[in-house]
């Protein structure tokens, strides 16, 4: 299976433009033979455009995800609709299974090749450290996986990378690949390199960490999206410009590595 990470240039508050750039990236990746395309965190509004969250929030059945579902159908590819600011009440009104909480969530939506919504992952660990995320959003609870091609795919989001127990939960659910939509800014370049690679090594699975690029009032996204194999080897990566990052990700390779180096069997619970 060929995975593509769409490292998009994200313009603060330019929802229409950001969505069109996302759709163009899906089309380009599909033309290049991708089976699955992943987008960055809050790619439509822009992660650091906090003042626009409430105004721009929408259902996971709303216009942004619907546009990406159309792209998935048109090109016959799976799409991880990075994440959006979800209005939980609007999602419920659209018949989407949502947590009982009200307010807003940071939601990633997995769409299959026919554009059907297969899973919604709502970010568990909300960033503090001067960010408004903890004040504006409600954390998720569910940890879904999706069968796609020969992989069992899990999703986490950005700051989740710092909490390894979440990835163990995905391993226990059978995950062979984890996609990580992110909005990782300068100056924490070394952290961005370290955490996705470490999660791949310690869980013996593929990790696709997809970041955006672009400048906001007080932050700049650092790009450097990358795909790591179950040994932690970098299969493909980008710099700090808009790019597609692609690699073949073979689920049989996960089984081989876990057989050759069965560290997961030595876990003490």
For 215-240, write each residue's pLDDT tens digit. Answer: 998 899 999 999 999 999 999 999 99
d(CA 80, CA 210): 11
How open is the CA angle 81-86-88, to the nearest 5 degrees? 135
pTM: 0.97
Closest CA to 136 of 157, 105, 108: 105
pLDDT digits (tens, 9 = 90+) for 135-186: 999 999 999 999 999 999 999 999 999 999 999 999 999 999 999 999 999 9
User: What's the pLDDT band for 13 if we cut at 50, 70, 90?
Assistant: confident
pLDDT digits (tens, 9 = 90+) for 235-244: 999 999 999 9
Question: Domain extents for the chain?
Answer: 2-266
Question: What CATH number does domain 2-266 carry, 2.60.260.20, 3.20.20.120, 3.60.110.10, 3.40.440.10?
Answer: 3.60.110.10
Angle, nearest 10°, between helix axes 189-203 and 164-172? 30
Q: What would the mean pLDDT of 120-125 be, rounded to a whole number?
A: 98
User: What's the pLDDT band for 69 if we cut at 50, 70, 90?
Assistant: very high
Instruction: Give the pair of three-digit tokens for residue 194.
Output: 């370290």
Decide: 107 and 134 in contact? Cβ < 8 Å.
no
């Amino acid at each position: 299976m060929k995975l593509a990470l769409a490292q998009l240039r994200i313009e603060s508050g330019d929802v229409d433009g950001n969505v069109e750039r996302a759709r163009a990236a899906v089309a380009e990746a599909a033309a290049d033979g991708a089976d699955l395309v992943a987008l960055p965190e809050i790619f439509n509004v822009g992660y650091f455009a906090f003042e626009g969250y409430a105004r721009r929030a929408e259902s996971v059945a709303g216009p942004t995800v619907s546009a990406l579902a159309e792209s998935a159908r048109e090109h016959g590819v799976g799409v991880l609709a990075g994440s959006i600011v979800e209005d939980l009440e609007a999602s419920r009104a659209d018949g989407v299974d949502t947590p009982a909480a009200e307010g807003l969530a940071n939601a990633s939506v997995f769409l299959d090749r026919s554009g059907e919504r297969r899973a919604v992952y709502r970010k568990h660990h909300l960033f503090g450290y001067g960010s408004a995320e903890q004040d504006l959003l409600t954390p998720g609870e569910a940890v879904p996986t999706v069968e796609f091609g020969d992989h069992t795919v899990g999703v986490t989001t950005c700051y989740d990378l710092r909490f390894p127990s979440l990835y163990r939960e995905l391993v226990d659910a059978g995950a062979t690949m984890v996609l990580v939509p992110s909005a990782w800014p300068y100056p924490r370049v070394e952290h961005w390199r370290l955490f996705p690679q470490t999660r791949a090594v310690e869980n013996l699975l593929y990790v696709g960490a997809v970041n955006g690029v672009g400048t906001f009032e007080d932050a700049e996204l650092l790009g450097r999206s990358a795909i790591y194999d179950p040994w932690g080897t970098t299969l493909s990566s980008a710099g700090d410009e808009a790019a597609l990052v692609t690699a073949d990700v073979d689920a049989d390779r996960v089984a081989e590595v876990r057989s050759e180096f069965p560290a997961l069997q030595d876990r003490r619970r």
